[in-house]
Amino acid sequence: MITLKSAREIDEMEKSGQLLASVHEALRDFIKPGITSWDIEVFVRNMIEDHGGVAAQIGYEGYEYATCCSINDEICHGFPRKTPLKDGDLIKVDMCIDLKGAMSDSCWAYVVGKSTPEIDHLMEVTEKALYKGIEQATVGNRIGDIGHAIQTYVEGENLSVVRDFIGHGIGPTIHEAPSVPHYGQAGKGLRLKEGMVITIEPMVNTGTWQMKMDNNGWTARTQDGGLSCQYEHTIAITADGPRILTLQDE
């Protein structure tokens, strides 16, 4: 079922999203060589709770952590762990916050220490792809317009778009209808309506888009071992255009 949100509900989701954005802003300085993704998990969990939020991924479908910390070839749902991060690691930190019943979801990518031209290009294209998708999230457009804009841009940059994980409606729970693929055909699919709140969260790979699943049943990684990047925002479809609820400061 697709739930349309009132202006007041969207305002509440934006407060949740603004707490989430502030966590990502804080991670910019926190993430450096030598720390572990477990340190990130603890930092994030404490910051969310200190601000009256609930780390909504904990307990979701049996997931045990506040964050997904997916490193290098890990596409998504990486478990936080106690291995030190090193120069040139690409880490994607994904989290959901429930603030007084209002849900938000955002993933951001960070390079640890010194980057490389390959990582810079992958990160730049993935972030731009997110915004190309967001541009299409307008009343009257169709779901396929979002995926089409993302896919054509990414593939034109000789990178690939993951098919196995997609964006989604959000609120009251993390995953709601509709599904929001990051690939597809313009003009196809459900028509977007005022009051829908969705995530757009392209996962972009340097090699093949195909994935393989780890034995833990959660962590997906690239089949060919290539790098994977992801950025995600929570977006409300409004009469004035897409409103990014998880927008960060520059």
Give the Å distances, CA to CA, from 246 to 4, 11, 77, 217, 249. 18, 12, 20, 29, 10
Does residue 30 touch ligand MF3 according to CB under 6 A? no
Structure tokens at 51: 């601000």
Peptide bond into 172 cis (omega under 30): yes
Does residue 105 touch Co ion according to CB under 5 A? yes
Q: Which residues of 70-103 are buried (b: 16+ CB within 10 A; e: fewer)?
A: bbbbbbbbbbbeeeebeeebbbbbbbbbbbeebb
* Closest CB to Co ion among residues 85, 105: 105
Identify residues 84-123 at the interface with ligand MF3 (CB under 6 A). 94, 96, 105, 107
* Closest CB to Co ion among residues 96, 112: 96
Structure tokens at 210: 């195909």
Provide, rounded to whole angstroms, the least separation between the CB of residue 76 and Co ion: 9
Identify residues 191-220 at the interface with ligand MF3 (CB under 6 A). 199, 201
Estimate the share of the chain in helix, then strand, then coil, as percent rounded to the nearest 5. Answer: 30, 30, 40
Residue 98 binds which entry of ligand MF3, Co ion, none, with Cβ cut-offs from 5 to 8 Å by kind?
none
* Closest CB to ligand MF3 among residues 56, 186: 56
Continuous H helices in 51-140: 117-135
Provide, rounded to whole angstroms, the least separation between the CB of residue 233 and ligand MF3: 10
Does residue 63 touch ligand MF3 according to CB under 6 A? yes
Provide, rounded to whole angstroms, the least separation between the CB of residue 115 and Co ion: 25
Give all strands of the β-sheet with 160-161 in edge-to-edge order: 160-161, 203-205, 228-230
Peptide bond into 80 cis (omega under 30): no
Does residue 45 touch ligand MF3 according to CB under 6 A? no
Does residue 179 touch ligand MF3 according to CB under 6 A? no
Report whether 137 contacts 192 (CB < 8 A).
Answer: yes
Does residue 9 touch ligand MF3 according to CB under 6 A? no
Identify residues 36-75 at the interface with Co ion (CB under 5 A). none
Binding stretches for Co ion (CB under 5 A): 105, 199, 201
Binding stretches for ligand MF3 (CB under 6 A): 57, 60-61, 63, 68, 77, 94, 96, 105, 107, 174, 199, 201, 232
